[in-house]
Structure 1
Amino acid sequence: MTKERITLGRFGEDLARERLKDCGYRILTTNYRCPLGEIDVIARDDDVLVFVEIKTRKNKSPGRVKEAVNTKKQRQISKVALAYMKSHNLWGSKARFDVVAVGLLDGKNEIEIIKNAFELAY
């Protein structure tokens, strides 16, 4: 991954986390890693445990960005989420998968939170 892409990703993640907080999410952890992969943000939205994937793209609207979370990525996120729930004894918790799409288009930062973006994927 190039330095520019890493910088862009971090910038987008910072914007997304701030938007999540502004919308009432309580962030529990960021960049959670386990042998199965990574989840960008794990948060609470009221009584719901939320696993958040953040996607940032330059010169694209948020609608085009969210398409980057394909079935393969959904499966990987699902596996990591299940591992997190198991390791933190959260099996009975309500949970969902959100995507935050950050589009950097024409000098503007457009951020869209897509709640329940996908179901648990195997």
Structure 2
Amino acid sequence: MHERTLLGRRGEGAAATFYERNGYRVLDRNYRCAAGELDLVVGRSRTVVFCEVKTRATDHFGTPAEAVSLQKQARLRRLAAAWLACRRPKAVEIRFDVVSVIVRDGRLHLTHIPDAF
């Protein structure tokens, strides 16, 4: 597996662990459909959270979260609609989060941005 892919998977794993430690249940990881892929879908109570995880080896060119453009946000909304249509959860509230992960000194540093857009 490519080093960049492995780094992304580590970041997604760290994000999933973060949510689980905060009382969320992982509903889906790397959900794929014709419109693309959702990194992480988690739920707690009646809320479903669609999380975009951005992992970088450095922050020399800005934070990973800055890579979530308006175009990417629109794609994530379409993906969320597809996921909701397919899974039909009983949730009444949805939220879009971004988790930014940067590697420093071999350790992952996570920043959670709830309700990012």
Q: Residues 86 and 57 (structure 1 numbering): CA distance in 2 closer, same or farther, change over 3 Å? A: same
| Residue pairs, 1:1-122, within 5 angstroms | 3-60=2-59, 64-90=63-89, 93-118=92-117
Deviation at 1:46, TM superposition (A): 2.8
Could you report, residue by residue, the CA deviation over 1:74-106 in whole angstroms, capped at 9, with x for unpaired residues? 111110101111222348721010111101123
After TM superposition, the structure 1 stretch with the greater mean CA deviation from structure 2, 105-114 or 20-29, is: 105-114
Runs of 5+ unmatched residues, structure 1 = none
Counterpart code for 1:3: H
Deviation at 1:72, TM superposition (A): 1.1
Query: Whole-Å Cα distance in 2 between the matches of residues 105 and 93 of structure 1?
Result: 38
Runs of 5+ unmatched residues, structure 2 = none
Counterpart code for 1:13: E
Query: Whole-Å Cα distance in 1 between the matches of residues 86 and 7 of structure 2?
Result: 31
Normalised TM-score (structure 2): 0.89
Deviation at 1:59, TM superposition (A): 1.5
Counterpart code for 1:33: R
Number of positions where the alignment pairs a residue of Structure 1 with one of Structure 2: 116
Q: Residues 87 and 9 (structure 1 numbering): CA distance in 2 closer, same or farther, change over 3 Å? A: same
Deviation at 1:41, TM superposition (A): 0.8
CA RMSD of aligned residues (A): 2.0
Normalised TM-score (structure 1): 0.85
